């Protein structure tokens, strides 16, 4: 997929990221926790040369390369492609990370654990003249939220859970809007989106008092016809990550939301015993809380992650859910008329 039609240049600062990448998967067995690597593979494939996994790690289906092989092929950095619970860098990953530095690759990560805080990595990077780049770093001077209504229009992707398509949906909708000639930007709010777009703000790394203000900063005043398509985080019903979802909802002041859901998922990912809320409950809760900063908020439709279904089953489910909910429903990755209807609903009635 091309990112060129999903993101455009604007005032938000671009990161200086050495490219192309070798994607490091560690020994992460669950694809949902390797979403950074999958996101880069799917949305920035031209920047990715291959993958490097430890025994037991998932595969992206890309060429398996050692750091030495990747460097010889032209790679300039190894990206930790994992977003695990707590954003930790396990000690048993260190030999692989040290090897990458020794072979001439910079290290890039979006974990809560910072590369520069690990003495062995600092020493190895200094020894070999390499860089340690932590993208989960909010900019300085973020404001407390003002609650002021900003010009321009905003769409926020929200979800019934984590890791089920909020980023892919936002990227797809921004791309589809631009294909229609709409002035639209993808606004990254997490480490994977930032690595894809090259800019953004890691919402879950912001001190809580400033989180809604950070969301305001992420989607500033714009032309009345401009759309910011903002990547959602967490879920308002998540037992751990509801706070970041609420800050994004209040600070973004979205005119429209799209609810993202993975059919068949019954429990919150990584939290056994916590039942997933329904799509209807998620719509109701987001609209209720979203009206605090934008009384005109509306639900434009639903995005379903149907990657586990064949084409016929996915089409039948999408059509059935649209009829049941009375809303446009689509899988943005599958595209087609259903996505076109969802985009039209997001944009609202013609003036």
Is 157 found in the same domain as 303? yes
At residue 11, the pLDDT reads 56
pLDDT of residue 350: 56
In a shared domain, residues 295 and 339: yes
Say if residue 123 is in the same domain as residue 178: no
State phi, psi for 99 to the nearest 5 degrees: -60, -45
Specify the pLDDT at position 202: 95
What's the pLDDT tens digit per position in 40-81?
A: 999 999 999 999 999 999 999 999 999 999 999 999 999 999
Q: Please report whether residue 256 resides in a domain.
A: yes
Would you place residue 302 in the very low, low, confident or very high pLDDT band (cuts 50, 70, 90)? very high
The predicted pLDDT at position 10 comes to 52
- 227-230/153-159 β-pairing: parallel
Whole-Å CA distances, 121 to 94, 117, 197: 8, 8, 26
Residue 34: is it exposed, middle or buried by C-beta count within 10 angstroms (0-12/13-18/19+)? buried
Confidence of residue 96 (pLDDT cuts 50, 70, 90): very high
Residue 242 placed within a domain: yes
pLDDT at 3 over 90: no
Q: Domain holding 318: CATH number?
A: 3.40.50.300
Assess if residue 2 is contained within a domain: no
Domain that holds residue 60: 21-134
Q: Does 52 share its domain with 200?
A: no
Are 307 and 162 in a shared domain?
yes
Q: Which of 101, 134, 167 is the last residue of a domain?
A: 134
Residue 5 lies in a domain: no
Tell me phi and psi for residue 229, to 5 degrees: -105, 110
Of 30-34, 56-60, 227-231, minimum mean pLDDT range: 30-34
> What per-residue confidence (pLDDT) applies to 6?
36
Q: What percent of the chain has pLDDT over 90?
A: 91
With respect to residue 141, please indicate whether it lies within any of the assigned structural domains: no
267 inside domain: yes
Least confident of 69-73, 109-113, 210-214: 109-113
**Within this chain, do residues 178 and 302 fall inside the same structural domain, yes or no?**
yes
**Looking at the structure, do residues 83 and 167 belong to the same domain, yes or no?**
no
Residue 309 within any structural domain of the chain: yes
Q: Are residues 55 and 127 in the same domain?
A: yes
**Final residue in a domain of this structure, among 99, 134, 169:** 134
Instruction: Report the CATH number at residue 99.
Output: 3.40.50.720
CB 343 within 8 A of CB 176: yes
Kindly compute the dihedral angle of the four CA atoms of residues 10, 12, 13, 17, in this order, to the nearest 10 degrees: -80
User: How many distinct structural domains can be found in the chain?
Assistant: 2
DSSP 242-267: HHHHHHHHHHH--SEEEEEE-TT--B
Does 186 share its domain with 277? yes
User: Same domain for 196 and 332?
Assistant: yes
- C-alpha distances (whole Å) from 245 to each of 33, 230, 273 are 19, 12, 21
Are 82 and 36 in the same domain?
Answer: yes
pLDDT number for residue 317 = 98
**pLDDT (mean) for 114-138:** 96
- Of 134, 161, 183, which residue sits at a domain end? 134
Contact partners, residue 177, CB within 8 Å, separation at least 6: 184, 227, 229, 343, 346, 347
> Does residue 10 form part of some domain?
no
Same domain, 77 and 204: no
């Amino acid at each position: 997929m091309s990112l060129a039609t999903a993101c455009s240049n604007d005032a938000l600062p671009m990161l200086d990221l050495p490219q192309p990448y070798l994607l490091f998967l560690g020994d992460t067995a669950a694809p949902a926790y390797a979403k950074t690597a999958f996101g880069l593979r799917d949305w920035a494939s031209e920047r990715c040369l291959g993958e490097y996994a430890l025994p037991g790690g998932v595969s992206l289906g890309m060429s398996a390369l050692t750091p030495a092989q990747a460097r010889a092929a032209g790679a300039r950095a190894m990206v930790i492609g994992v977003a695990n619970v707590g954003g930790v860098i396990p000690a048993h990953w260190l030999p692989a990370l040290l090897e990458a530095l020794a072979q001439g690759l910079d290290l890039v990560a979006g974990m809560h654990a910072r590369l520069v805080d690990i003495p062995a990595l600092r020493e190895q990077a200094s020894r070999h003249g390499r860089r340690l780049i932590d993208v989960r770093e909010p900019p300085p001077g973020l404001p407390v939220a003002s609650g002021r209504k900003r010009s321009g229009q905003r769409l926020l992707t929200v979800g019934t859970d984590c890791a089920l398509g909020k980023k892919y949906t936002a990227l797809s909708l921004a791309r589809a809007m631009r294909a229609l000639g709409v002035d639209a930007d993808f606004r990254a709010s997490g480490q994977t989106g930032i690595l894809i777009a090259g800019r953004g703000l890691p919402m879950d790394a912001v001190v809580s008092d400033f989180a809604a203000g950070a969301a305001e900063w992420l989607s500033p005043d714009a032309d009345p016809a401009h759309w910011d398509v903002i990547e959602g985080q967490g879920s308002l019903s998540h037992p751990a990550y509801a706070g970041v979802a609420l800050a994004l909802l209040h600070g973004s002041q979205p005119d429209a939301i799209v609810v993202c859901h993975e059919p068949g998922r019954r429990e919150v990912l990584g939290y056994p015993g916590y039942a997933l809320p329904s799509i209807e409950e998620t719509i109701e809760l987001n609209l209720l809380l979203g009206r605090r900063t934008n009384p005109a908020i509306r639900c434009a439709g639903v995005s379903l992650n149907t990657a586990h279904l064949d084409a016929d089953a996915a089409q039948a489910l999408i059509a059935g859910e649209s009829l049941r909910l009375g809303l446009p429903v689509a899988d943005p990755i599958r595209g087609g008329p259903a996505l076109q209807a969802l985009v039209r609903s997001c944009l609202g009635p013609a003036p």
